[in-house]
Chain A
Amino acid sequence: MGHTIAEKILATKSGRTSVRPGEIIDAYPDLVMSHTATWRSVSVMQKVGATKLYDPDRLAVVLDHIAPAKTEKNATDQQVSRNFARTNGINKFYDVDAGIAHLVLMEAGHVAPGDLIVGTDSHCTIYGSLGALGTGIGYTEVASVWITGKLWMKVPETFKIVLSGKLAPGVYSKDLMLHLIGSLGADGCGYKAVEFHGDATTGLSVSERMTMTNLAMEMGVKCAFVPPDAKTEEYLRGRLEASKRYQPVSADEDAVYEKELPVDLGNLGPMVACPHEVENTKPIQEVQGTRIDQAFLGSCANAKYEDLEVAARILKGRRVHPNVRLIITPGSKQILLEASKTGVFQTLLEAGGMFTNPGCGACAGDGGIMADGEVCLSTANRNFIGRMGSSKAQIYLSSPATLAASAIKGVISDPREFF
């Protein structure tokens, strides 16, 4: 009986020859990511009287939420995190200028297939786009892994999602994920690992895969994977940090899956998640015409270079509707840099968009706060009540293409007419 990707990685990281779903193991993560929450983990270390880290090279600290500091309290907390990184010789330290932790760590080559990565953020699942097992934990547990090097984990069952067909122009992996979350529900994959398979998966770019493994969190997964292939290898070539080698990980032919789900991408159209739950999804036809006040192109789900490029292609030579503020928060400094070289930055500005500095931005309730009764269309991964300011504001979620089309029209709009 063969093994899934999650089983293989957890066996390796717990020093076993094999593990099965349901087993509880002590695993040693390759990387522990902490973002703006770092100071909280530092306070736990002080509280328990620990001074020594298990392995400073396994820590990554990225200050991404509320960056740069908005209040004196933020500044002080960031100072604690910065001093901690300096004092302990944390080489993978990225300050408030770098961008969103997940994207920064993948760009910098700190994530390789087969790695086990934990961090203070639920969207650590995104690392599965490169074949790593990523999952979120709290700040106390991060401190515990800093000190002991390990954490207890339950080996998950795995769902296999088999993709066939081809996405139509104007339809993206964001639409696929909103379709899946809507049909499976917010806990449709609760505690499970998910693997994406099928010819159509191979055809999707690494950026599209990042969106998939990121959004998978919204159906409750513990982790999600796109098995590494030629595209993964190409993305990582010349990028992986010196201590890492490219070693793909794959499921066995006879791996045991709890469930298999086929999806034909050719059947999908643009999807929108309506307030106030991500699982509340609808086809674009049912929500088009809804007035928007703000369009937010940002977050670890959809503020990658490809996402900005898609929006720019639609907005080129057009204008953002006068009643809409288009806020663009690039996922990282590298993404902003690339957009500034290729003309995407200029196109989006000329169309009437405004840029904020790279980071989590409005998705973490920083810059782009909504007033009572306002409506935001966002490319982020959550539309929970009160997440972007007023609890009387409405947040809808879509792909960058739907966002760009809607920003032009001033109402939620089908992007396919622009293709």
Chain B
Amino acid sequence: MESTLQGRVYKFGDNVNSDIIIPGRYLIYIDRERLAQHAFEVLGEGFPAKLREFQILVAGRNFGCGSAREQAATAIQGLGIQAVVACSFARTFYRNAINDGLPIFECPELYPDVQEGDSLKIDLAASKIQLRGKQYAFPQLPDSVKKILELGGLANYLKTQLAGR
């Protein structure tokens, strides 16, 4: 994982559920590209194509609520999104994102200040997000969990663990 993540923001509201992120009928797939073709398509015309122009999703409360489908995180990665910053995440999405290698950050202070198209810089080492010269702190993940994310997800982590046995 890069030490700095940077890109343009697309902004969502509260309670974006995992059925919106990837409808149930596509759960027969697990590969990023295929899932990304249908990510957020229920939001109507232009989706998901327009999301490919952005690198960071910013959302309100409870992002990823609903179904425990791991493909919600996979589909977002398939769109080329590098990180999701939300006021809060639903716990199943939170775990799935980490396990899928998708960086996520909880930062409610950022939400009201950010707009679609803004450029964000996320400094992982300093635990800070930069927006128009202002800095916003986010809590660090526990070390054991951070390790999973750093290796690109739980499958890679398991592979490393099994190799070390």
Given contacts A49-B162, A122-B92, A277-B17, 12 further A-B contacts (CB under 8 A): A24-B142, A44-B155, A47-B155, A48-B155, A74-B28, A122-B67, A137-B92, A138-B95, A144-B99, A148-B161, A190-B62, A385-B42
Q: Answer whether A141 and B162 are a contact pair too, CB < 8 Å, given A77-B28, A382-B66.
A: no
Residue contact B99 to A138, C-beta cutoff 8 Å? yes
B-contact 0/1 string along A124-164, CB 8 Å cutoff: 10000000000111111101100110001000000000000
Cβ-closest chain B residue relative to A391: B42
B66 neighbours in A (Cβ, 8 Å): 122, 382, 384
A49 neighbours in B (Cβ, 8 Å): 159, 162
- Minimum distance in angstroms from A142 CB to a CB of chain B: 9
Judge whether A341 is part of the interface by a CB distance below 8 angstroms.
no
Residue contact A384 to B70, C-beta cutoff 8 Å? no
B62 neighbours in A (Cβ, 8 Å): 186-187, 190, 220
Q: How many residues of B contact A (CB 8 A)?
A: 41
B145 neighbours in A (Cβ, 8 Å): 24, 152
**A37 CA / B62 CA spacing, docked (Å):** 24
Cβ-closest chain B residue relative to A74: B28
Q: How many residues of A contact B (CB 8 A)?
A: 45
B-contact 0/1 string along A353-365, CB 8 Å cutoff: 0000000000011
Q: Answer whether A141 and B65 are a contact pair too, CB < 8 Å, given A365-B24, A365-B25.
A: no
Judge whether A91 is part of the interface by a CB distance below 8 angstroms.
no
Say which residue of B28, B65, B99, B144 sits within 8 Å of A140 (CB atoms). Answer: B99
- Minimum distance in angstroms from B153 CB to a CB of chain A: 7
**A256 CA / B141 CA spacing, docked (Å):** 26
User: What would 10 A/B residue contacts be, using CB atoms closer than 8 Å?
Assistant: A139-B30, A140-B70, A186-B62, A186-B65, A187-B88, A277-B15, A384-B17, A384-B66, A385-B42, A386-B20
Judge whether B27 is part of the interface by a CB distance below 8 angstroms.
yes
The 7 A-B residue pairs whose C-beta atoms are closest, nearest first, are A138-B70, A136-B68, A187-B62, A384-B19, A386-B42, A391-B42, A122-B68
Judge whether A222 is part of the interface by a CB distance below 8 angstroms.
yes
Cβ-closest chain B residue relative to A278: B66
A-contact 0/1 string along B131-165, CB 8 Å cutoff: 00000000000101100000001110011011000
Residue contact A24 to B28, C-beta cutoff 8 Å? no
Interface residue ranges, B against A (CB under 8 Å): 14-15, 17, 19-20, 23-25, 27-28, 30, 41-42, 44, 61-62, 65-70, 73, 88, 90-92, 95-96, 99-100, 142, 144-145, 153-155, 158-159, 161-162
Judge whether A8 is part of the interface by a CB distance below 8 angstroms.
no
**A382 CA / B19 CA spacing, docked (Å):** 10
Q: Answer whether A187 and B144 are a contact pair too, CB < 8 Å, given A73-B28, A138-B96, A279-B15.
A: no
B-contact 0/1 string along A375-386, CB 8 Å cutoff: 000000010111
B-contact 0/1 string along A82-102, CB 8 Å cutoff: 000000000000000000000
A139 neighbours in B (Cβ, 8 Å): 30, 70
Residue contact B70 to A187, C-beta cutoff 8 Å? no
**A139 CA / B65 CA spacing, docked (Å):** 17
Residue contact A48 to B159, C-beta cutoff 8 Å? yes
**A387 CA / B23 CA spacing, docked (Å):** 7
Judge whether A120 is part of the interface by a CB distance below 8 angstroms.
yes
**A364 CA / B153 CA spacing, docked (Å):** 27
Residue contact A222 to B91, C-beta cutoff 8 Å? yes
Cβ-closest chain B residue relative to A191: B91
A144 neighbours in B (Cβ, 8 Å): 99, 154, 158
**A50 CA / B15 CA spacing, docked (Å):** 37
